[in-house]
Amino acid sequence: MGGCTLEAHGGYLCRVEGLEFADLAALGRQALALDGMGTGLDCGLQVSAIPRHKVVRFAYDAPFAYGRRGVAWYRGHHALARLLSVSLGTTVHAYAFDPDEGECVVGYGNGRKVGGESLRCEDAELPEESDGELDEEAFQKMKERWPLGHLAYVFGVTRTELLALPRAETLLLPLGGPGYSSAGNARSAASTARWTLAAWK
């Protein structure tokens, strides 16, 4: 819609002071099990951020988590959002974004659902110019009131910044797969601490 070239994606978003005390790898594995994916899955957990606003995105690095398949998955699998909201002590928002279909956001606080909003592109009333063509400028402003635009406002960032997080510098934490061992927990925790300190400078 409106010449949008963004890719479909999803994940979990929050604003948090730091991640160095959270065992993100353990939480990621626990969430996968709760979401019916079992254990030992060849998968990773991606962590990216908008450092100056301390806005963080979590997303799985696995075939089921990318593109439109990923959007469908994130719409219905929110275990990590619930677990993170308890561990980090902040509201965590599960989201799914498809530039052609629509977007949804569901918030979790202390492990419980605290709100949600969704919008289908086909239900949106598109602004038109006098000649019947799409008013692109008005359309972009209108999207600031859509679920992800509203969440971006709450975070103090722009919708564009929020949607660009999948392309930001990323910390990748292994959750399982060939060669993985429980000894990786300590390394993952150390990596998280170093990444947080570097990103938050």
DSSP sequence for 10-27: EEEEEE-S--TT--HHHH
**Residues of the domain holding 82:** 9-195
64 — phi, psi (to 5°)? Answer: -70, -10
Does any domain span residue 124? Answer: yes
92-98 and 170-176 as β-strands: parallel, antiparallel, unpaired?
unpaired
Structural domains of the chain, count? 1
**What was the pLDDT predicted at 72?**
96
Strands (DSSP E) found in the chain: 9-15, 43-50, 55-61, 92-98, 102-109, 112-120, 170-176
Does any domain span residue 41? Answer: yes
Does any domain span residue 1? Answer: no
Spans of the chain below 70 pLDDT? 1-5, 40, 126-137, 139, 177-190, 193-198, 200-201
Does any domain span residue 160? Answer: yes
Does any domain span residue 106? Answer: yes
Distance CA 189, CA 26 (A): 10
Tens digit of pLDDT for each residue in 75-107? 999 999 999 999 999 999 999 999 999 999 999
pTM here? 0.86
- Per the CB < 8 A criterion, the answer to whether 192 and 24 are in contact is yes
CA distances (Å), origin 49, targets 45, 72, 88, 113, 197: 13, 23, 15, 23, 12
